[in-house]
């Protein structure tokens, strides 16, 4: 994304569907352009007006009335972008919006590119790069938890933690560099044991952030929950019961579901993506086999698996099925909840006893329910939210949601591991210093202290126009 810094830009800042739309303008020529198309109801000189002023009036073109509008003015540096800026509130007619944009462009503005307003805010020091990325995340947030993570990052919570780590590494690097300056005198300015402890502490914090990405990414995109089981155990009925609607086809014929069906549901402030899958069994049907193959892939990528059995199965059969599912997701960190469906076919006492017995055999949460009545669905939802590490949301600044940040932190961890290996193996200080500098570089990539242009272009290209 390349643009002359003195170019004034304009773009719609709202989508279609409401009664009022907003066009945003930013740049050194903002007030001049506004003065050419806007006639305030109360006589004033727009060019001399201060920031944080709101004016009612009309937009005219050669005497032709375009719309009644409200114009809000901002003076640099007290604006979103850090530049002179304005917002025009007009009636949400696509025609009016188009005419407004034509007038702004005819009088010297340029149509903004995706993310250009936020990129200018970053360049002008109004926010760092991780905060700029959080703007897109907070717009896309579709659950309470996702909004909480994005808002913490937008307000700089995550950036502050990264900056603390960076400062510790810079301080550590200064000692290493000082030793290099006096290398001929063979002087050590810090005890190697103490320095190793410092690096271990920083690396542990970085590794904790790296490990948090699985949770953060799942919350940001929706926690994938796979519903798996043999044919006819009621997987589709369970999906319908969770959604409170007839979303999946239910049939007594085995193998009805041959492809995955995906729907979302908010539970306890979290967004869950439920995926109904083909029944797991041996089959000669090529189409059904393709569905089963997709089921296995979905299991491997899931955060939670609802392993569905039926109440007529024995406790050991249920435990064996749970074990087979656990083997499929082994090493992935996926959590399993065993669901005993069709509990209406047995007594409440028997269902309670089954829950306890299977839980003892498997060591995983077990919920007995009936998807057709439905009953037990609320208990299942409680188990779902309990399976997510919601306690970590109490400290959202320590949760990574951005893949770019995750990759950078992994590189930091690898660099610090080489530093530790270097101390252990007696590697020359000059080589250890190189690895420390690399760790500082990768931390700088997160907040934008070091920002290659290709990275900036990639980040802001994914924003919506007007942000």
Label residues 317-336 b or e (16+ Cβ within 10 Å = b). Answer: ebbebbeebbebbeeeebbb
Grouping H, G, I as helix, E, B as strand and the rest as coil, residue 171 is: helix
What is the pLDDT of the chain when averaged over all its residues? 86
288: pLDDT confidence band, cut at 50, 70 and 90? very low
Tokens 């990574």 found at: 400
**Can you give the pLDDT at residue 250?**
44
Tokens 């060591």 found at: 363
- Find the farthest-apart pair of alpha carbons in the chain and give their distance in angstroms, rounded: 84
Please tell me which residue, 300 or 199, carries the higher pLDDT value. 199
Label residues 243-258 b or e (16+ Cβ within 10 Å = b). Answer: eeeebbebeeeebbbb
Convert the pLDDT of each residue in 158-191 to its tens digit.
999 999 998 888 888 887 777 665 555 555 555 6
Please check the confidence at residue 463 and state whether its pLDDT lies above 70.
yes
Please check the confidence at residue 249 and state whether its pLDDT lies above 60.
no
CB 50 within 8 A of CB 144: no
**Can you give the pLDDT at residue 261?**
79
Please check the confidence at residue 260 and state whether its pLDDT lies above 80.
no
Question: Does the reported pTM lie above 0.75?
Answer: yes
Residue 245 backbone phi and psi in degrees, to 5: -155, 160
Convert the pLDDT of each residue in 188-239 to its tens digit.
555 667 788 889 999 999 999 999 999 999 999 999 999 988 888 888 889 8
Mean pLDDT of 60-73: 95
**Can you give the pLDDT at residue 258?**
42
Please check the confidence at residue 3 and state whether its pLDDT lies above 60.
no
Q: Which pair of tokens denotes residue 86?
A: 């304005």
Please check the confidence at residue 114 and state whether its pLDDT lies above 80.
yes
414 closest CA partner among 449, 442, 448: 442
Is omega for the bond preceding 374 within 30 degrees of 0, making it cis?
Answer: yes
Residue 227: its H or E element? strand 223-229
32 closest CA partner among 42, 45, 47: 47
205 closest CA partner among 416, 450, 391: 416
Give the chain's domains with CATH numbers.
Answer: 9-127 (3.30.1360.120), 129-303+388-448 (1.20.120.430)
Please tell me which residue, 415 or 252, carries the higher pLDDT value. 415
Q: What is the DSSP letter of 375?
A: B
Alpha-carbon distance of 240 to 80, in angstroms, equals: 45
Please check the confidence at residue 69 and state whether its pLDDT lies above 90.
yes
> What whole-number percentage of the chain has pLDDT above 90?
56
**Can you give the pLDDT at residue 233?**
87
Convert the pLDDT of each residue in 346-381 to its tens digit.
888 988 999 999 999 999 999 999 988 888 899 999
**Can you give the pLDDT at residue 28?**
95
Instruction: Kindly give the residue spans of alpha helices, DSSP state H, lying in 155-254.
Output: 157-181, 192-221, 235-243
Alpha-carbon distance of 88 to 102, in angstroms, equals: 14
Mean pLDDT of 15-25: 91
Instruction: Kindly give the residue spans of alpha helices, DSSP state H, lying in 302-388.
Output: 315-328, 348-362, 377-387
| Residue 74, CA distances (Å) to 53, 71, 426 in order | 7, 10, 58
248: pLDDT confidence band, cut at 50, 70 and 90? very low
Label residues 194-203 b or e (16+ Cβ within 10 Å = b). Answer: ebeebbeebb
CB 32 within 8 A of CB 47: yes
**Can you give the pLDDT at residue 40?**
96
Mean pLDDT of 87-102: 96
Please tell me which residue, 251 or 323, carries the higher pLDDT value. 323
316 closest CA partner among 287, 354, 352: 354
| Strands 20-26 and 366-368, bridge-based pairing | unpaired
**Can you give the pLDDT at residue 66?**
96
Convert the pLDDT of each residue in 388-444 to its tens digit.
987 888 888 899 999 999 999 999 999 999 999 988 888 887 888 889 989 999 999
| Strands 53-61 and 38-40, bridge-based pairing | antiparallel
């Amino acid at each position: 994304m390349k643009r002359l810094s003195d170019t004034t830009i304009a773009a719609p800042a709202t989508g279609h569907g409401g009664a009022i739309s907003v066009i945003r303008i930013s740049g050194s020529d903002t007030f001049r352009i506004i003065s050419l198309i806007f006639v305030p109801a109360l006589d004033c000189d727009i060019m001399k007006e201060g920031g944080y002023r709101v004016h009612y009036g009309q937009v005219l073109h050669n005497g032709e009335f375009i719309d009644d509008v409200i114009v809000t003015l901002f003076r640099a540096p007290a604006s979103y972008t850090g530049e002179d800026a304005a917002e025009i509130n007009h009636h949400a007619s696509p025609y009016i919006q188009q005419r407004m944009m034509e007038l702004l462009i005819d009088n010297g503005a340029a149509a903004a590119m995706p993310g250009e307003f936020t990129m200018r805010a970053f360049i002008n020091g109004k926010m760092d790069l991780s905060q700029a990325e959080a703007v897109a995340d907070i717009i896309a947030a579709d659950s309470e938890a996702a909004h909480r993570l994005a808002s913490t990052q937008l307000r700089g919570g995550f950036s502050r933690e990264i900056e603390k780590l960076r400062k510790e590494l810079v301080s550590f690097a200064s000692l290493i560099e000082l030793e290099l300056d006096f290398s001929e005198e063979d002087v050590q300015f810090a005890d190697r044991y103490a320095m190793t402890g410092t690096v271990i502490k920083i690396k542990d914090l970085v590794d904790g952030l790296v490990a948090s990405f699985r949770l953060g990414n799942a919350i940001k995109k929706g926690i994938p929950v796979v519903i798996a089981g043999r044919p006819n155990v009621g997987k589709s009925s369970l999906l319908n019961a969770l959604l409170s609607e007839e979303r999946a086809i239910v049939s007594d014929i085995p193998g009805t579901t041959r492809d995955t069906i995906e729907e979302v549901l908010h539970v306890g402030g979290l967004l869950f993506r439920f995926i109904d899958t083909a029944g797991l069994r041996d089959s000669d049907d090529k189409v059904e086999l393709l569905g089963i193959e997709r089921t296995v892939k979905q299991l491997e990528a899931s955060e939670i698996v609802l392993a569905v059995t039926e109440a007529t199965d024995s406790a050991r059969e249920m435990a064996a099925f749970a074990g087979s599912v656990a083997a499929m997701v082994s090493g992935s960190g996926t959590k399993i909840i065993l669901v005993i469906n069709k509990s209406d076919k047995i007594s409440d006492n028997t269902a309670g006893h089954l829950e306890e017995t299977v839980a003892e055999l498997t060591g995983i949460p077990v919920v007995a329910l009936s998807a057709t009545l439905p009953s037990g669905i609320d208990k299942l939802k409680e188990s779902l939210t309990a399976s997510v590490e919601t306690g970590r949301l109490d400290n959202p600044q320590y949760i990574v949601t951005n893949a770019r940040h995750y990759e950078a932190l992994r590189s930091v961890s690898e660099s610090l591991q080489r530093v530790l290996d270097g101390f252990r193996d007696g590697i020359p200080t000059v080589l250890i210093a190189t690895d420390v500098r690399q760790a500082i570089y990768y931390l700088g990539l997160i907040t934008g202290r070091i920002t290659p242009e290709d990275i900036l272009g990639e980040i802001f290209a994914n924003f919506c126009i007007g942000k």
